[in-house]
Amino acid sequence: MSRIGKKPVTIPGGVTATIENGTLSVKGPKGTLTLGLSDLIDYKLEDGAISVKPANDTRQARAFWGMQRTLVSNLVEGVTDGFTKVLVIKGVGYRANAQGRTLKLQLGYSHDVDLPVPEGLEVKTPDQTTIEITGIDKQAVGQFAAEIRRWRKPEPYKGKGIAYKGEFIFRKEGKKR
């Protein structure tokens, strides 16, 4: 039994959800998100909540149960509050600058890295070493943050690179004389 899957996803005020043609559509103050529904799971809208149950007792249906409930929860949370990832840049001369729909990174390469910001996401740089990515789609926010981080992952000796805020970077001891 999935502990996560048992809990129904409550729909707050100002948010509407509809199930039709194999898709769940959730509309809220920040926008609209849709999710393709799995045939292995039963979805029900009842008294201000969406309940998720396995359609049958197969192993695959039980495995999908908790994940599908979490995906539905992410839709509701996205259209009400949105999601944010914060990246921190450490290193001498490393900096970021958001210019319109482009993020310009200087990461010690011989060239600047220009990344186009995907639709539906907003990128801010409060200072030169902080990048804030916000959007309503959790997967898109996390994917773009991972693509930015991939340009210069934190290294274990000095900790230089792009890291998530609050991420622990395992540090190694350097060479000894």
Per-residue pLDDT of the chain (177 residues; tens, 9 = 90+): 678 888 999 999 899 999 999 899 999 999 999 999 989 999 999 888 999 999 998 999 999 999 999 999 999 999 999 999 999 999 999 999 999 999 999 999 999 999 999 999 999 999 999 999 999 999 999 999 999 999 999 999 999 999 999 999 999 998 888
First to last CA, the chain: 57
Considering the entire predicted model, what is its pTM?
0.90
3-state secondary structure of 105: strand
Structure tokens at 144: 């773009």
Domains contained in the chain, CATH given: 3-80 (3.90.930.12), 83-164 (3.90.930.12)
Check residue 113 and give its pLDDT. 95
CA distance 86 to 64: 30
3-state secondary structure of 70: helix
Displacement of CA 3 from its chain's centroid (Å) = 22
Q: DSSP string covering 85-139, please?
A: EEEEEESTT-EEEEETTEEEEE-SSSS-EEEEPPTTEEEE-SSTTEEEEEES-HH
